[in-house]
Amino acid sequence: MVQLSILLQAQGASGGGSMLIWLILIFVVMWLLMVRPQQKQAKKEREFRENLKKGDRVSISGGIYGKVHEIADHTIDVEISNGVIITVEKSMVQPLPEQPAAKK
């Protein structure tokens, strides 16, 4: 009887350890599939905004296309038409979306 309880305790301890390993494994996989790509995208967008200069063509998050007219600390003036300049928050400016290649 004593040997049976010792055997059951040993199996229970190893089962708990394997459960912990599975939880850690799931956490690592979720981080690799979800968090890491988001961090890379955020870094890419931050670098884009830091490297903006006057004359660059940009897209505003609302779908408006324009050309950078002036850059301040937290805002950017974007010329959306001849003589029409709007001020937007820097975080709303995105690079132009890539255009698909034209079919021949």
Task: Answer yes or no: do 38 and 62 share one domain.
Answer: no
Task: Answer yes or no: do 43 and 73 share one domain.
Answer: no
Structure token digits, residue 66: 């324009």
E-strand stretches of 15-81: 57-60, 65-71, 75-81
Task: Answer yes or no: do 47 and 59 share one domain.
Answer: no
Per-residue pLDDT of 46-102, as tens digits, reads 898 889 999 999 999 888 999 999 999 899 999 999 999 999 999 899 888 776 555
Number of structural domains in the chain: 2
Domain that holds residue 68: 54-98
In order of 12, 23, 24, 26, 90, the CA distances from 20 in angstroms are: 13, 5, 6, 10, 44
Structure token digits, residue 65: 């296309």
The residues that bridge with 86 in the sheet, in sequence order, are 78
Per-residue pLDDT of 37-61, as tens digits, reads 999 999 998 898 889 999 999 999 8
Count of CB atoms situated within 10 Å of the CB of 4: 8
- The CATH number of the domain holding residue 58 is 2.30.30
pTM: 0.60
